Amino acid sequence: MCGIAGVLNYARRTPVEPATVSRMCAAMRHRGPDASGQLFRPAFGLGLGSVRLSIIDIGGGDQPISNEDGTIWTVFNGEIYNFQDLRTQLQQRGHQFKTRADTEVLVHLYEEKRADLVDDLIGDFAFAIWDDRTGELLLARDRLGVKPLYYADHNGQLAFASTLPALLEGCDAPREIDPRALLSYLTFRCIQAPLSVYRHMRKLPPGHVLTARGHDVRTRQYWRLKLEPDESRPLESFSEELDALLNDAIRRQMVADVPLGAFLSGGLDSSAVVRAMTEFSSGPVKAFSIGFREHRYDESPYFKLLARELGIEHHQLVFEPHLLDDVQNIVQMFGEPCAITSGFPLYYLSKLARQHVTVALSGDGPDEIFAGYELRYRYLQSARRAQHALPRPILSMANRLAQLTRTVKTTGPLGNRLRRMRKFCELVRLAPEQWMPYLTVNHTPLTEPAAVLGLALAPDDTLPYVTAFRQQPGGADWLLPFLYADITVVLPDEMFTKLDCMTMAHSLEGRVPLCDHRIAELASRIPSRMKFDGYTGKLVFRRAVEARLPRVIAERPKWGFNVPIDAWFRTDLRALATDVLTSTSFRQSGLFNPDVARMILEEHCAERQNYGSLIWALMVFEIWRRSFGSAHGQSALETPPSPAAANGSLPPAA
């Protein structure tokens, strides 16, 4: 795992100052504390930089790395899990290697296939390749978007980096906040690719390459997942193939020259990873878990059960609200606004793991790939049936009656039932592509983005999630568009963003073996009825792993790595929320309506609504804004501080 950065002044070909690349690397030093390197080509206006977390070939794999004659160079973030196979093939064709690192495979494969080298790679990656012979720069991101890559193409300059703060250090593009990014953020609590918080900076989408040669800068999608179910195969056939792929992916991702372990939640996915690791490990597997004091969020009975049964080396901690005293550090490590609440316990879990290992395998992925969100899909299935069975006037009348219950407190069994009833009545009046944005936002008149924001908004149908939903035909299989949007948008922009930023905050490499692209491609051929049967999710995945796990874990429903944020904002975190959302800084920012924010907080604390997620999103954005700049619109933001300089306290409110 590393951080990469670079600048190409392709229009004027002015040399890149070494100090610029040094600043870019310094802004992401936490991603690569072991080594750094730079490459400059003044005649082309090019500068490349890398910071390295040494995982494979610790002493010999420093970057940039070149081919035999020094005409092709690369900086690389991630891992190529089939690099040993590729290395053998390349050596048989006459290529000479000078390191044992997986990085070097890239330059030799590029010699043969140029931009098409990505087709041969099994891995999680973001890299840049420079070709002295042609003056071409190639950027690439892995198929599912496990590794991040930001870039800006502005005024004849192309700049890129693994993090947004690093990009800002070398980028001349204006720092204008993008209203579409704010809409994405308020809806999904993250900013979905290709958007970034800044209008003139973008994320390279998963499965894309970018090439720059002369004045010609273009992007190309080299891989797209197509959900085309094969109804001719039985479930057992799919589960057997899946079992083989799962084991191959986990085995490949256990290759490292440094200590390696895994995150263990006690759920099906992480338990399957740890169980397989015990088969491929010569010693006890190291696993790391986090529990909660609130019983309904705590999975400790399950991860303790598996730890005892497998005889692993197990480390655990309990997450407490006071740990959010480090909120400033955590927000800065995300680099741009991200209010995914499960990221915050992951920050501390990663801190615990880094005391023992340098690489941690995670169980992320099967929920999106194999339809694991059971409650959500049952809910959507019911909404679909209601839309088909009931006339629109009946649905409208039911919605009007449901709104009469808004004054009932949301705490307690009755309040929760009424809240769910209101949401359902509102949901069925919408088009299916709007269901997930609606559910995520927890819409009420107060939480409509138009009410919360002080900026003009783009239409809802510009959201990347909605665009992805419309790209996948559903037909009789109503679940396909939801699965496609989950895999192509939610997985990279929520799950992988959280994992990458929170592990890298502690110089820990997070790997996701269950998101090997070959597994996703197999899943794309499995009918939805073999994933979700109307009640239980991940059916085919469960069948593939259940024989190796305790029955109580193999049959567990989806639990989720959630945080009791609603309760905390009424107790432990109420003072912090009040301080941030009523501050002069928040009121004067012009980004959000301060009166609406105050009412949202009051409604939540009075238990009339559960607005914890939105309160957290507004707080995170304000803390991010104080850290990285205070202007918006056409104004330039201040240069952000290095994340390493964060001191754990909130920045000044003025």
342: in domain: yes
Q: Among 193, 221, 249, identify where a domain stops.
A: 221
Pair 294, 567: CB distance under 8 Å: yes
Residues 539 and 636 in one domain: no
242 and 197 both lie in a single domain: no
- Residue 267: enclosing H or E segment and its boundaries? none
Tokens 């991630």 locate to 78
- Residues noted as catalytic: 2
Contact assessment for residue 57 and residue 100, using Cβ atoms and an 8 Å cutoff: yes
Task: Please provide residue 610's backbone torsions phi and psi, each rounded to the nearest 5 degrees.
Answer: -105, 100
Q: Tell me what the pLDDT averaged over the chain comes to.
A: 90
Cα separations in angstroms, 317 against 47, 95, 192, 263, 345:
43, 48, 31, 12, 10
Residue 439 scores a pLDDT above 50: yes
Are residues 192 and 240 both part of a single domain? Answer: no
Q: Among 8-12, 310-314, 450-454, 542-546, which is the least confidently predicted range?
A: 450-454
Q: Give the confidence band of 25 by pLDDT, cuts at 50, 70, 90.
A: very high
Tell me: do 516 and 571 sit in the same domain. no
CA distance 166 to 157: 16
- Is 299 domain-assigned? yes
pLDDT, residue 640, reads 33
Q: Are residues 262 and 116 in the same domain?
A: no
Omega of the bond leading into 64 within 30 degrees of 0 (cis): yes
The DSSP bridge partners found for residue 77 are 126
pLDDT tens per residue across span 457-494: 655 667 899 999 999 988 889 999 999 999 999 999 99
Looking at residues 121-145, what average pLDDT do you find? 98
Residue 348 in this model has a pLDDT that exceeds 50: yes
Residue 407 has pLDDT above 80, yes or no: no
Contact yes or no for 581/598 (Cβ under 8 A): yes
Q: DSSP alpha helices (H): ranges in 104-256?
A: 104-113, 164-170, 179-188, 235-252
The encoded tokens of residue 403 equal 């709104």
Do residues 109 and 215 both lie within one domain?
A: yes
pLDDT of residue 237: 97
Q: Is residue 652 domain-resident?
A: no
Query: Is there a single domain that holds both residue 137 and residue 268?
Result: no
Q: Phi and psi for 485 in degrees, rounded to 5? A: -65, -35
Q: What is the pLDDT of residue 649?
A: 46
CB 141 within 8 A of CB 220: no
Question: Does some domain include residue 208?
Answer: yes
For residue 577, what pLDDT is reported? Answer: 93
Please indicate, yes or no, whether residues 328 and 288 belong to a single structural domain of this protein: yes
**Strands of the 2-8 sheet, one edge to the other:** 35-41, 46-52, 2-8, 157-161, 150-154, 202-203
Rg (CA), the chain: 24
Q: How far apart are CA 321 and CA 292, in angstroms?
A: 10
Query: At CB < 8 A and 24+ separation, what contacts does 502-505 make?
Result: 502/330, 502/333, 502/343, 502/346, 502/347, 502/350, 503/346, 503/350, 503/360, 504/1, 504/3, 504/30, 504/31, 504/333, 505/30, 505/329, 505/330, 505/333, 505/347, 505/350, 505/351, 505/643
Q: How far is residue 54 from each of residues 2, 34, 57, 381, measured CA to CA in Å?
A: 8, 6, 7, 47
652 pLDDT band (50/70/90 cuts)?
A: low
Residue 241 has pLDDT above 70, yes or no: yes
pLDDT confidence bin for 636, thresholds 50/70/90 = very low
Looking at the structure, tell me whether residues 594 and 545 fall in a common domain: no
Is 92 buried (19+), middle (13-18) or exposed (0-12) by CB count in 10 A?
A: exposed
Let me know: does 541 contact 520? Beta carbons within 8 Å. no
CATH code of residue 505: 3.40.50.620
The pLDDT value recorded for residue 230 is: 95
Q: Which of 568, 566, 609, 564 is nearest to 415 (CA)?
A: 609
Contact 191, 197 (CB under 8 A): yes
Q: Are 543 and 582 part of one and the same domain?
A: no
If you write DSSP's letter for every residue of 207-248 in order, what string do you get? Answer: TEEEEEETTEEEEEE---------TTS-HHHHHHHHHHHHHH
- Please give the Cα distance from 533 to 378 (Å, whole number): 10
169-178, 290-299, 439-448: range with lowest mean pLDDT? 439-448
Domain's final residue, options 509, 533, 554: 554
What's the domain range around 581? 565-645
Q: How far is CA 159 from CA 21, 55, 164, 192, in A?
A: 10, 27, 11, 20
Distance, CA of 465 to CA of 155 (rounded, Å): 30
Q: Is 648 exposed, middle or buried (0-12, 13-18, 19+ CB in 10 A)?
A: exposed
CATH code, 21: 3.60.20.10
CA distance 380 to 540: 21
Q: Does 279 score more than 70 pLDDT?
A: yes
The answer to whether residue 13 sits within a structural domain is: yes
- Residue 639: pLDDT band (50, 70, 90) is very low
Strand partners, 7: 47, 159
3-state secondary structure of 621: helix
The domain boundary, picked from 221, 243, 272, lies at 221
DSSP characters over 385-432:
HHHHHS-HHHHHHHHHHHHTTTTS-SSSHHHHHHHHHHHHHHHTTS-G
List of E strands, 27-112? 35-41, 46-52, 65-66, 72-80
490 touches 469 (CB < 8 A): no
Residues 6+ apart with CB under 8 A from 190: 184, 338, 339, 340, 493, 494, 497
Distance, in Å, from the CA atom of 301 to the CA atom of 38, rounded to the nearest integer, reads: 49
Closest C-alpha among 382, 291, 324 to residue 574: 324
Question: Considering its fold, how many domains does the chain have in total?
Answer: 3
Residue 326 inside a domain? The answer is yes
3-class secondary-structure state, position 141: strand
Residue 475 in domain: no
Mean pLDDT of 635-641: 33
Determine how many CB atoms are found less than 10 A away from the CB of residue 180: 17
pLDDT, tens only, 289-347:
999 887 777 888 999 999 999 999 999 999 887 767 788 899 999 999 999 989 989 99
Per-residue confidence at 427, pLDDT binned at 50, 70, 90? confident
Q: Which of 339, 330, 350 is nearest to 647 (CA)?
A: 330
| Whether residue 270 sits in one domain with residue 214 | no
- E strand or H helix that includes residue 292: strand 286-292
Higher pLDDT, 426 or 363: 363
39 and 166 part of one domain: yes
Cβ-based neighbour number of residue 55 at 10 Å: 23
One-letter amino acid of 52: R
Q: Is residue 394 part of a domain?
A: no
* Percent over 90 (pLDDT), the chain: 73
